[in-house]
Structure 1
């Protein structure tokens, strides 16, 4: 009895081509996580899965989209544990959500550069966002104001996470170091304010900086909300 094409492929150990390789996204993610990030490529992933490289293209178009897939998967699992629903009031809900978002993004390390959202109200894990919008609605924000507030918080926190990753990768190119270098490159001493700022020991990558920025946004949101009360 002659072996079928599938049986011949399995018997020979040949790589399976295309969509029929039976791959799904979870398998791709699991296999990708077994490889060091610096060695992860479409070819190394295909080798790990013992499939033809073209089989991966049904799910991921290339290395960029593969890294984006890994970043979104890890971020979603982390942020899904957010306890925004337990918050008492809209301010606490915003603080919890912002900190959870920043911590979830920062945990990605270098993968944070591949974490992008087309729409923060749709691309993020749904339950925490639903709870946050419920709190904002109960507080009296209009839908437009709530959308803009959530977008501002998300933009801030993702930016903070990227700052941390960049500072970790290039410790000699922090804001303070770059400012000192710029001042040192000019002969003029007509920048007394910048020179004073450069001499201060203020960590703008710290949790204190994140808290300060969140409170600035919430203070502004409070003023917007107050308009509805007058």
Structure 2
């Protein structure tokens, strides 16, 4: 009930008191079940993610298509709830795991063993979540903060220091320039899996 009520509240105005008011209970009744706003926000984000991914169909195409479909859907879902996307740190229930289970099934069907499938699913999920985070941070700050930090640090050093990093910065090699570039990590994971399959 707490999570359902919280999901009806605009994320920018979500508070424990707002949930208590919506449910017609004292705030202490909320904190008895939820430790604080951070936990509640993470639960709401996970519930939103689970709902949006519930109907994700990974049965079409080859396993590479399934990997891409899962990663794109997870990232795009997180981007639709930007104030919540940055707070998912734990997996509170099975809803979020159902599409992961479907992806693992596609990888098993392709012949990958349990160890490879486990690492692959973890890496693919990380790429999707990190991609969403990077996009949201760039929207907020105008540039991904890590890239901005690298530029600042390099700018404070002599021109002959960190020359290889300067070379990447000069070519914008540290910044994704298009949606395709943002999936470079995913392409690497797929290529690695293809290499494993070929062996």
Query: TM-score, normalization: structure 2?
Result: 0.85
Unaligned runs of 5+ in 1: 1-23
2:81 to 108, 113, 122: 108
TM-score normalised over the length of structure 1: 0.75
Task: Give the Cα–Cα distance (whole angstroms) in 2 for the partners of residues 145 and 196 of structure 1.
Answer: 35
| The 10-residue stretch of structure 1 (60-69 or 104-113) with the greater mean CA deviation from structure 2 | 104-113
Which string of whole-angstrom CA distances, capped at 9 and with x for unpartnered residues, describes residues 128-179 of structure 1?
A: 3333222212211112211111111001111111112222222255444322
Two-structure CA RMSD over aligned residues (Å): 2.5
Name 1:147's counterpart in structure 2. 118
**1:65 is matched with which residue?**
39
Match of 1:219 among 182, 191, 195: 191
Contact map agreement 1:79 1:125 (CA 8 A) in 2: no
Q: Is the 8 A contact 1:46 1:56 kept in 2?
A: yes
Does the 8 Å CA contact 2:74/2:128 hold for their aligned counterparts? yes
Q: Does 1:80 align with 2:57?
A: no
Is the counterpart of residue 129 in structure 1 residue 80 in structure 2? no
Matched, 1:169 2:140: yes
Number of the residue aligned with 1:40: 14
Which structure is higher in RCO with an 8 Å CA cutoff and minimum separation 6?
2
What is the distance in 1 between the residues matched to 2:40 and 2:81?
14
Counterpart-to-counterpart distance in 2, 1:152 and 1:29: 31
Q: Name stretches of at least 5 consecutive residues in structure 2 with no aligned partner.
A: none
Runs of 4+ in 1 over 4 A off after TM superposition: none
Residues 46 and 88 in structure 2, CA contact (< 8 A), matched pair in contact too: yes
Larger Rg: 1
Q: Residue 157 of structure 2 aligns to a residue in which SS?
A: coil
SS of equivalent residue, structure 2 residue 90: coil
